Amino acid sequence: MKIARSFSHSLPQQAAIAVLAAAIGVPVWAQQAPPATADQNSASASQSDQQANQQTSDQQTSTTTQMPPPAREGFWGRMNPMARKKWVKKQIDPLNDRLNELDQVNARNAQEIKDVDARAQAGIHQAQSTADAANQAAQAATQQAQTANSAAQQASNHVTQIGNTVNGLDQYHQVTDFEVKFRPGTMTMTADSKGELDKLAASLTGRDGYILEMDAQAPGNGSVGISTSQRLAEAVERYLVTDHQIPIFRMHSVALGNMEVASNDQAANGQPGEESAHPAHVRTRTVHIRLMENSLAAQGTASPQDAAPSNGQVQP
């Protein structure tokens, strides 16, 4: 019994001693175990640093714009609230480098866009200037062509007008005719004949493009009649020149002597062969005057208004 009681009393003590020894042994083991763990942690940390540095260098040399993966801190992957400035700067520097690179790219792109726009505006301005110059040249050429066309048309019209004028210079038509009577045996015109000449001269004042045709007849055979008729025509011309200032070049006369000239009606109707072969001789002294007008040369002037009527006869 005593032995059992002593064993029962020593059993708690042994248990207490075992627990105390275990409590002392755990710290000693803990002190010996950490050095190996620290080395392992430092080795893994150095490997991690090397890998991080390798990744950072690879990211810096890469031309892509991918952002680095966010750093994981702590057990749960969150940033340590007690991180140091150096560590924070180390984490932010890659971001700043990327931002600076993006700013440079954006600035370069903006400058290139500005240069392209400037070149485009310069090209547009040059093209517009060239188009304006071409338009002005085309307008000037059109005006010159119109001017040349107008000048050519005017020249053509002028040539046509000159051709018509030249062709019509010798084209005269009769306006009126009458006879100037003389007193028998004298070179004196009758009063009525002078009156007719005065009217004719008044109608010719200021006019152009006319001529006076005169054929004089007088009794007498051969040269006697021709000489007398010549003096009659000269008397009429002298009167028109001295009293009415009719130009001499506008009067044309012929001395027919005692040969009678057939009238226009007689020439148109025709006479018997015997009468045409032996024309009648005149018995009075007369000068037949015909006013002939060239319509082209007389353009712009009035036609004779007071001329004697055609085929008018003046009584002595």
The per-residue pLDDT for range 228-246, each reduced to its tens digit, is 999 999 999 999 999 999 9
**Highest mean pLDDT: which range of 215-229, 249-263, 274-288:** 215-229
Predicted pLDDT at 7 = 46
Higher pLDDT, 243 or 259: 243
Bridge partners (DSSP) listed for residue 176? 291
| Nearest one of 242, 240, 103, 117 to 180, comparing CA atoms | 240
The per-residue pLDDT for range 13-28, each reduced to its tens digit, is 666 666 666 666 555 4
Kind of pairing between the strands at 210-217 and 251-257: parallel
The residue to which tokens 């040349």 are assigned? 148
The rounded distance, in Å, linking the Cα atoms of 114 and 196 is: 102
The per-residue pLDDT for range 123-155, each reduced to its tens digit, is 999 999 999 999 999 999 999 999 999 999 998
Q: Is 215 left (phi over 0), alpha (psi -120 to 50) or beta?
A: beta
Q: In the predicted model, is pLDDT for residue 176 greater than 70? A: yes
The rounded distance, in Å, linking the Cα atoms of 87 and 90 is: 5
Q: SS3 of 222, please?
A: coil
Q: SS3 of 214, please?
A: strand
- Number of residues assigned to the chain: 316
The rounded distance, in Å, linking the Cα atoms of 228 and 238 is: 15
What's the fold here for domain 171-293?
A: 60s Ribosomal Protein L30; Chain: A; (3.30.1330)
